[in-house]
């Protein structure tokens, strides 16, 4: 894919050290809740994820963001053998450009997502996508369950029967794969660089291809209600799972209501308020947890939702508490900020709505290469010995001693 960017060497180097991700680390699809979307899911508490490839991820991201029910789209790389791929190396490692979608299953089905995807790519080209050549740009659907696979097959079969395309469909249906988020400057590229994106899109021929084959029906969903045949055994399992989920006790932070600014100012220190509510950064090496080595977990200072574990903490040398991965990935919301003049991935807590820090891809390679650089002022540390009393007893298992084989 040609990148129309005007960057100094220093700026480019900075960009290559930043990432943007919902998953925040290399994730397997099953770790990111890629579940079949036909099950009845409570609208207020559950979302689902889907991972697709369809050529230039700028374009696929932009097209999928327009779908009602899609909550978030992240660009990245998946399907290869190499670790920690970058834009310069992902193709050599066998990866495709992909997007990771978070969506509301009550507003858009998995089948609907696939239909929209197929109508906005060239699903007949296994060797590239429009101007972009190479298998790294070829179309693919990464399925997480047998049900998703059956749904994908059913949608592709129906589209084939419509005989819209001159050539047969060549969309690969692939098993789950690690999702590696792309660099921050690739996220929402169409929105941040509209002129260069529109120029690329026009020259690529993507829009003319879509108009030729679908016309006004490109944005109409005809197959969203496709439901693959389900065995009685699978149905029973799904029903049991749904019942168990509905009976699961609500966590305190899930019903948390954020206080008004006046009340928050009274509860927080000046630094805590500045960091969490005004997106400030505390001083390095002069904060509560940068050198904390005690066992326990770190929770949101406002809502109490669990965020990180000491088992994933490491000394990054930066002077801020740093972690290789989150304790509960679904407790984070990301966005790209430009406070330093270049894009960085900022994180805030889902329930507390507090700014936490930023994520970079210069962490330990052995653990995935991610560095979650957090502000101590946004966190509250719960020592291991106080977890049960504080209502976090379920996390004691993180610190259980490894069993030894008796001789």
The predicted-structure confidence for 337-389, as pLDDT tens digits, reads as follows 777 776 677 889 999 999 999 988 788 877 777 899 999 999 999 999 999 99
Q: With 50 as the cut, is the pLDDT of residue 4 above it?
A: no
Tell me the mean pLDDT in the region 104-110: 91
Q: Within this chain, do residues 213 and 281 fall inside the same structural domain, yes or no?
A: no
CA separation for the pair 246, 266 (Å, rounded): 36
Q: How far is CA 404 from CA 59, 307, 399, 401, in A?
A: 52, 30, 15, 9
Residue 263 lies inside a defined structural domain of this protein: yes
Please check whether residue 270 lies inside any domain of the structure. yes
CATH number at residue 25: 3.30.1060.10
Residue 241 lies in a domain: no
Q: Is the same domain home to 232 and 258?
A: no
Average pLDDT on 269-273 reads: 97
Q: Are residues 332 and 228 in the same domain?
A: no
- Identify whether residues 19 and 69 lie together within a single domain: yes
Q: In total, how many domains does the chain have?
A: 2
Asked if residue 385 belongs to a domain, the reply is yes
Residue 378's domain is classified under what CATH number?
A: 2.170.150.20
Q: Are residues 261 and 378 in the same domain?
A: yes
Q: How many CB atoms lie within 10 A of CB 249?
A: 6
- The pLDDT, as a whole number, for residue 32 is 36
- Do 24 and 118 belong together in one domain? yes
Top pLDDT among 281 and 405 is at 281
Catalytic residue selected from 1, 19, 51, 56: 56
Residue that has been written with the tokens 């993180």 in this structure = 398
pTM above 0.85, yes or no: no
Closest CA to 180 of 363, 351, 368, 404: 368
Q: Are residues 328 and 205 in the same domain?
A: no
Whether 56 is a known active-site residue: answer yes
Q: In what order do the strands lie in the sheet with 140-142?
A: 172-174, 140-142, 48-53, 96-103, 70-78, 179-181
The predicted-structure confidence for 281-314, as pLDDT tens digits, reads as follows 999 999 999 999 999 999 999 999 999 999 999 9
Q: Is residue 2 part of a domain?
A: no
Mean pLDDT for the chain overall: 82
- If asked whether residues 273 and 375 sit together in one domain, one would say yes
Residue 222 sits in the same domain as residue 336: no
In this structure, the answer to whether residues 258 and 311 fall within a common structural domain is yes
pLDDT at 42: 37
* Structural domain containing residue 385: 252-399
């Amino acid at each position: 894919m040609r990148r129309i960017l005007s960057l100094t060497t220093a700026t480019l180097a900075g960009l290559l050290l930043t990432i943007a991700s919902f998953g925040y680390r290399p994730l397997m699809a099953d770790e990111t809740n890629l579940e079949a979307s036909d099950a009845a899911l409570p609208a207020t508490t559950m979302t689902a994820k889907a991972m697709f490839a369809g050529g230039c991820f700028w374009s696929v991201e932009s097209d999928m963001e327009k779908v009602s029910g899609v909550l978030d789209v992240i660009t990245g790389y998946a399907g290869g053998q190499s670790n920690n791929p970058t834009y310069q190396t992902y193709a050599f490692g066998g990866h495709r450009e992909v997007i990771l979608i978070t969506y509301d299953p009550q507003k858009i089905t998995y089948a609907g997502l696939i239909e929209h995807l197929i109508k906005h790519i060239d699903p007949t080209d296994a060797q590239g996508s429009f101007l972009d050549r190479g298998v790294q740009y070829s179309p693919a659907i990464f399925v997480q369950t047998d049900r998703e696979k059956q749904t994908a097959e059913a949608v592709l079969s129906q589209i084939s029967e419509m005989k819209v395309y001159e050539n047969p469909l060549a969309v690969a249906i692939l098993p789950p794969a690690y999702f590696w988020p792309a660099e921050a400057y690739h996220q929402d590229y169409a929105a941040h660089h509209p002129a260069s994106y529109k120029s690329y899109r026009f020259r690529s021929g993507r829009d003319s291809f879509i108009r030729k084959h679908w016309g006004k029906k490109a944005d109409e969903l005809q197959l969203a209600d496709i439901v693959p045949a389900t065995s009685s055994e699978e149905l029973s399992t799904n029903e049991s799972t749904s019942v168990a989920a509905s009976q699961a006790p609500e966590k305190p932070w899930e019903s948390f209501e954020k206080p008004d600014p006046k009340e928050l100012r009274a509860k927080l220190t000046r630094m805590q308020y500045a960091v969490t509510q005004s997106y400030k950064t505390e001083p390095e090496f002069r904060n509560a947890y940068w050198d904390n080595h005690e066992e326990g977990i770190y929770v949101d200072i406002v809502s109490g939702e669990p965020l990180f574990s000491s088992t994933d903490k490491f000394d990054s040398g930066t002077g801020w508490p740093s972690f290789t991965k989150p304790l509960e990935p679904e407790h984070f919301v990301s966005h790209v900020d430009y406070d330093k003049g270049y894009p960085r991935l900022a994180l805030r807590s889902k329930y507390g709505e507090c700014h936490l820090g930023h994520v970079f891809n210069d962490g330990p390679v052995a653990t995935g290469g991610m560095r979650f650089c957090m502000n101590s002022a946004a966190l509250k540390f719960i020592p291991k010995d106080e977890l049960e009393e504080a209502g976090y007893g379920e996390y004691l298992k993180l610190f259980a001693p490894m069993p030894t084989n008796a001789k």
